[in-house]
Amino acid sequence: MNTSGRHFLQIPGPTNVPDRVLRAMDFPTIDHRGPRFAEIGQQALEGMKRIVKTEKGEVIIYPASGTGAWEAALVNTMSPGDKVLMYETGHFAMLWRKMAERIGLQPIVLEGDWRHGADPNAIEQALRADAGKDIKAVCVVQNETSTGCASRIDEVRKAIDAADHPALLMVDTISSLASIDMRMDEWGVDVVVGGSQKGLMLPPGISFNAVSPKALEVNKAAGLPRSYWDWEDMRGPNAKGFFPYTPATNMLYGLVEAIAMLEEEGLENVFARHDRLAEATRRTVRAWGLELLCQEPRHYSSSLTAVVMPEGHDADAFRDAVLRNFNMSLGAGLSKLAGRVFRIGHLGDFNELSLTGTLSGVEMGLAIAGVPHNKGGTQAALDYLAETSPYREPIKTAAE
């Protein structure tokens, strides 16, 4: 393996952690019951409310992966045997379904083809058919990490409202948070599920629930057993910046710094940057003559792009060639997409040079692995990025 230079970690998360965040975490651990820690806790909790765009809701932070936040969302709102409506957007939507089954819920799954986001019309029809209002929640993955398809959460909310259904709206934002817009209050999201290791530019280790007043009211009657995940145990200490058990202290240092970085750039600028780099990636894939897995432009992800391998070529063998030759990691195809696609992550602490280096490595890897493609496809990204640079100065002629 070529080990000179830095490792290019271009999976769709965990993402590269910027130096500012690493330095913020590189401090002695402090007393998590002391006044200095309360300041950090409050900064983290209030900052996350701004990231998910809620003034009405509350944020709860767990020392856990995103899977823990999934479980917290369900056990704090549901009772044994409750029905939850889930849309099959890909591998992670199906893992959420598996968890729901394991904890005693009844998932109703709307089938998808893994090449589109959630269909709001199908959700509306399923809710209209639920005459007894037995469905207690609609669970949607905003950005399906396994496919590169993003669902329109605003349209899902409109579908629920059109059906006049009281179900909670729960949204997995694990690979979209701080990369793709999430408007919790405006879109009527009741529970946001998030994780630290993607758009928030942190290592894995903390996860989030952002909870609406409606979800907190439902929580009072929820009958699933819970202890570690109990929102009520968290809310009291959180009000003063503390936690009921030992928090991930140094991760919270990093979270406060990551939020500061995002807000210095401006959230809308962060989203525009992700949109632009994603479009440059898609233009390059098309120029190579390869196929995007996501088939609906309105569902294109700004966090990652999944690329379909030509018939007869194995995506994992290609990824191995890229890793051995260029010390770059690309995302694998998951479950039924194993060996059929590779995924390019372009989220988090990422810019134009990071992207063009990544795409150059992919293009060289295609040649080394003998994958049929059009040469020079990376030029499509270079052209697009130059044409759309937000800092581009007008070209002056000699006469001027």
Query: What is the block-wise mean pLDDT of the chain (400 residues), using blocks of 10 residues?
Result: 82 96 94 93 98 98 97 98 98 97 98 98 98 98 98 98 98 98 98 98 97 98 97 96 95 98 98 98 98 98 98 98 97 97 98 98 98 98 96 63
**Domain ranges (residues) in the chain:** 8-15+266-387, 19-263
Q: What is the pLDDT of residues 43-97, one digit of tens each?
A: 999 999 999 999 999 999 999 999 999 999 999 999 999 999 999 999 999 999 9
The CATH H-level (homologous superfamily) assignment of domain 8-15+266-387 is Aspartate Aminotransferase, domain 1 (3.90.1150.10)
pTM equals 0.95
Answer yes or no: is 343 a known binding residue.
yes
CB-CB contact of 83 with 135 (8 Å) = yes
Answer yes or no: CATH 3.40.50.720 is held by domain 19-263.
Answer: no
> Please, what sign has the CA dihedral across residues 270, 5, 175, 249?
negative
Q: What is the pLDDT of residues 180-211, one digit of tens each?
A: 999 999 999 999 999 999 999 999 999 999 99
